[in-house]
Amino acid sequence: MEIIDLNEKYYSIYFKCLEDWSDDINEAGDHKEIWFNKFKDKGLRVKIAVEEEKACGMIQYLPIEHSMAKGKDLYFISCIWVHGHKQGIGNFQKRGIGTKLLEAAEEDVKLLNAKGIAAWGVSLPFWMKASWFRKKGYKKIDKNGMAVLLWKPFVEDAVPPKWIKEKKTPQLTEGKVNVTSFTNGWCLAQNMILERTKRAVQCFNDKVEFRIISTAEKESLCEWGICDALFVDGKEVRTGPPPSYEKIKKIIEKRVKKLKT
């Protein structure tokens, strides 16, 4: 197994989070590719774990100034993923690949003269676990619901990062159901929810006001303090794990039925 910088040979599998076998992933559109092309010029770095020419793990990190956290002179790991499903190439987790990807990213970031590295994880024992980063020497520094922000400073004068927190939520629309999708592009699960929502709103034509807010623009991210989320009539829809198309449609339908005719 070797860790390499992402190159063109692995672009298409990276844009599918190493899960080209998954129907769900194939629903996620091309937002990740668009996001990659935008952020690669802003310092985004991606490393891939490769075994026998198969991409089995990846880590993506970018200058924190372009991330969903506030900070200075740090890099931010938005995602680390070692393929863990039995489908496709099979389960590569718990073989030390995640540790090697993280070490490679830390080395890289030190060479880039960053003062430290930040990461995020969930406080529960699934997905990207905050506890996994803690075992790797990262310290919890902020929390936003279940999302824990952690960091590993390399120098004494490194400034601790903070989460950008929610500032406002979408308002109701007179006479219509308001559906607002915040989307950044970095996460296929979130992109999939956007695509499912786009399909669902089409069932209700002019009964719904649908708005997509791109938070790939930092001003927009800071204005709302929201990175990826779905709101229906001002109420946030739980998006972890990603709701199915049917579930999203049902939530909207329930609100449409309450509209005065």
Ligand X SMILES: CC(C)(COP(=O)(O)OP(=O)(O)OC[C@H]1O[C@@H](n2cnc3c(N)ncnc32)[C@H](O)[C@@H]1OP(=O)(O)O)[C@@H](O)C(=O)NCCC(=O)NCCS
Which tokens hold the place of 196? Answer: 């499912």
Q: 161: which DSSP letter?
A: P
Kindly tell me which of 52 and 157 has the beta carbon lying closer to ligand X: 52
Contact partners, residue 92, CB within 8 Å, separation at least 6: 49, 51, 56, 57, 82, 83, 84
Q: Which of 12, 127, 211, 259 binds ligand X (CB under 6 A)?
A: 127
List beta partners, residue 119: 77, 150
Kindly tell me which of 120 and 231 has the beta carbon lying closer to ligand X: 120
Q: CA-to-CA distance for 201 and 77, rounded, in angstroms?
A: 33
Q: Which of 1, 4, 34, 79 binds ligand X (CB under 6 A)?
A: 79
Please state the φ and ψ torsions of residue 104, each to the nearest 5 degrees. Answer: -65, -40
Q: Which of 62, 80, 164, 226 binds ligand X (CB under 6 A)?
A: 80
Kindly tell me which of 80 and 208 has the beta carbon lying closer to ligand X: 80
Kindly tell me which of 95 and 218 has the beta carbon lying closer to ligand X: 95
Q: Does 61 sit near ligand X (CB under 6 A)?
A: no
Q: How many CB atoms lie within 10 A of CB 42?
A: 11
Which tokens hold the place of 144? Answer: 């936003």
Q: Does 175 sit near ligand X (CB under 6 A)?
A: no
Q: Which of 3, 35, 47, 98 binds ligand X (CB under 6 A)?
A: 98
- Enumerate binding residues for ligand X (CB under 6 A): 79-82, 84, 93-99, 127-128, 132, 135, 187
